[in-house]
Amino acid sequence: MTLGSVSLTSMDLQSTDEMRRNSTLICAPIMAESVDQMLIQMKRAKELGADIAEVRVDFLKSFSPRNDLETLIKQGPLPTLITYRPKWEGGQYDGDENKRQKALQLAMELGADFIDIELKVAQEFYNFIQGKKPEKVKIIVSSHNYECTPSIKDIGDLAVRIQATGADIVKIATTALDITDNARMFHIIANLQVPVIGLVMGERGLMSRVLAAKYGAFLTFGSIEAGVVSAPGQPTIKDLLELYNFRQIGADTKVYGVIGNPVGHSKSPLLYNAAFKHVGFNGIYLPLLVDSVANFISTYSSPDFAGYSYTIPHKEDGLKCCNEVDPIAKEIGAISCMIRRPVDGKLKGYNVDYLGAIKAIEEALGASNGAPASVSPLAGKLFVVVGAGGAGKAIAYGAYEKGARVVVANRTFGKAKELASKVGGQAITLAELKDFHPEEGTILANTTSVGMKPRIEDTLLPKEALKHYALVFDAVYTPKSTTLLREAQEAGSTIVYGTEMFINQAFVQFERFTGLPAPKQLIRDVLARNT
């Protein structure tokens, strides 16, 4: 197996199965205070599916170069990348530079597969070793920018400087200030004619680590356990392989994702990636932490960026970026789903939120009322929608369509009034909601983020006020059982979990993304395991 000029045939790679669609390796950072702990971590990394271990010897409490390197290289169960990172490049080592370079030279002599040397001292290191480099060893020359991601020109110039040192592999790590920063790194990886490790650090840089496989990067890093990372934004090996189906990502893999801010709580990647894999669809679904929808859409305009789900707070901004909007979404004034048409690349927006929520509420009411299937159990009911954002608009519209009498409660009265006028309803402020005493059989639907992780104790209404409602629905699904729902149930209301809305709209979106029937039971099972 080769990538550019770097031969990997002698390496004990973890994945040689026929399903592998890329040659990008998974490298596990090994950071421990003793050699024994490092060997245990390397064994665990191999079990998890890593291809290479980056042995961070700068983390060792007491480092005896000859003995420790020999043990780690000879006894380690994975091919080794030896890194002895100094403090001035974000590492732990704060000693004599000459000693550090001697240790890296020794690592090469003892049979390390790769060593990492920083660009700042690369020329000095090459002079130091005087051409004495075993054929097997490949030198990675690295540059880390912990402040930003420079322009394509500046990253390109940096790559040329790294190549000029004689590097076998170019490594550039930058920091994402915006999700669009990843695009510049993808451009470099795809166009450089030598093996490249190109990563963008931080939560907004996650896509660079996963899509490294799509653009042909030499490797990506995956941590052994969540939170124990060698750089910000690193996913785990388990997530790379099991959540993102990393081995199956190819150059032609279509990219989908959920656009939101925040987005880390979303269960969508779990559902869609499992469903894509189940039906054999060549797609990857990512959490996309987006600050500006317009910037994101204009940056990722390639046909490979094929579709998105929209969540708080971007449903209305998403609509503005569409070339075409489904009439229902236009009426609602927000989208929850966007598809790029393969024929002409135009973006079409839909709103499937209302389908998911209204169906779940109708099912719960139908079961409790025994209403005939021909008439919606919502017809004639008083329906209080809390929130006038994208989800609020969708659910108010859906309830109105089914014949309910809608009341919109919102922090800003102006927004509540605007939405209520569109659905022939009444507007109140959130402050008024507490003393709003509705008639028997009223429905309450929360479409705000109140009660969502991490602020799970927050709730819209005191428990006492909930006794007036026959049914309470909460669009929040992390956690599944919110304080609002728990207290509503205690007050005697029928409750509908946000997961039901989420799952119903997931079925519809999956079919729009893929053109295939949704594997409904699989999607339900995945969500059940993860809520």
DSSP 179-221: TTHHHHHHHHHHH-SS-EEEEEESGGGHHHHHTHHHHT-SEEE
Q: Do residues 61 and 68 touch, judged by C-beta distance below 8 A?
A: no
Q: How high does pLDDT run on average in the chain?
A: 93
Q: Averaged over 398-427, what is the pLDDT? A: 96
pLDDT at position 199:
98
Question: What pLDDT, in 10s, does the model give residues 432-452?
Answer: 998 898 788 899 999 999 999
Strand extents, DSSP E, 218-322? 219-221, 254-260, 283-289, 305-310
The kind and range of the H/E element at 143 are strand 138-144
| 164 has pLDDT over 60 | yes
pLDDT at position 423:
95
Please, which residues bridge with residue 473 across strands? 445, 496
Q: Name which of 239-248, 373-382, 514-523 the model is least confident about.
A: 373-382
The position carrying tokens 């004599």 is: 96
- State the catalytic residues: 144, 171, 315, 353
| 482 has pLDDT over 60 | yes
What does the buried/exposed string (b/e) look like for 445-460 if buried means 16 or more CB atoms within 10 Å of the residue's CB?
bbbbbbbbeeeeeebb
Q: Do residues 275 and 509 touch, judged by C-beta distance below 8 A?
A: no
| 32 has pLDDT over 70 | yes
Select from 400, 380, 272 the least CA-distant residue to 328.
Answer: 400
Question: What pLDDT, in 10s, does the model give residues 256-296?
Answer: 999 999 999 899 999 999 999 999 999 999 999 999 999 99
Q: Do residues 303 and 283 touch, judged by C-beta distance below 8 A?
A: no
Q: Averaged over 374-390, what is the pLDDT? A: 93
pLDDT at position 7:
44
pTM of the model: 0.88
Q: Residue 353 — pLDDT band, cuts 50, 70, 90?
A: confident
